[in-house]
Amino acid sequence: KNQVEQSPQSLIILEGKNCTLQCNYTVSPFSNLRWYKQDTGRGPVSLTIMTFSENTKSNGRYTATLDADTKQSSLHITASQLSDSASYICVVSDGNAGNMLTFGGGTRLMVKP
């Protein structure tokens, strides 16, 4: 069964600090991995996407890494801002016809002033 596990479930950091969120997956076949940001009361929005051959991708202060051998990914947030407070969801696509998504449970990040 395809699964995506994220850790930690929740995290509180002070504004300006860095943090790293983790994602482990068992999805086969593998097509790509995305990190989504979901603000409270909104739908998820894609931050980064990585395919099998990519091991790092940046989007501003967000940097995602992928180790396809160990089936692990991380999302590093640099110099956190209050607006980074949200849930971050790791999502893995399979390579089948529907390119279906398997969602992690998310990490709820709170950035405090």
Partner 1 sequence: DAGVIQSPRHEVTEMGQEVTLRCKPISGHDYLFWYRQTMMRGLELLIYFNNNVPIDDSGMPEDRFSAKMPNASFSTLKIQPSEPRDSAVYFCASSGAGANGRSDEQFFGPGTRLTVL
Binding region for partner 1 (CB under 8 A): 31, 34, 41-46, 49, 89, 97-101, 103-106
Nearer to partner 1, 14 or 97 (CB): 97
Residue 34 or 111 having the CB closest to partner 1: 34
Contact between residue 77 and residue 62 where contact means Cβ atoms under 8 Å apart: yes
Output the smallest distance, CB 23 to partner 1, in A: 13
Closest CA to 77 of 93, 62, 97: 62
Residue 62 CB burial class (10 angstroms; 0-12, 13-18, ≥19): middle
Alpha-carbon gap, residue 6 to 105, rounded angstroms: 6
Q: Which is nearer to partner 1, 15 or 101 (CB)?
A: 101
User: Shortest approach of partner 1 to residue 98 CB, angstroms?
Assistant: 6
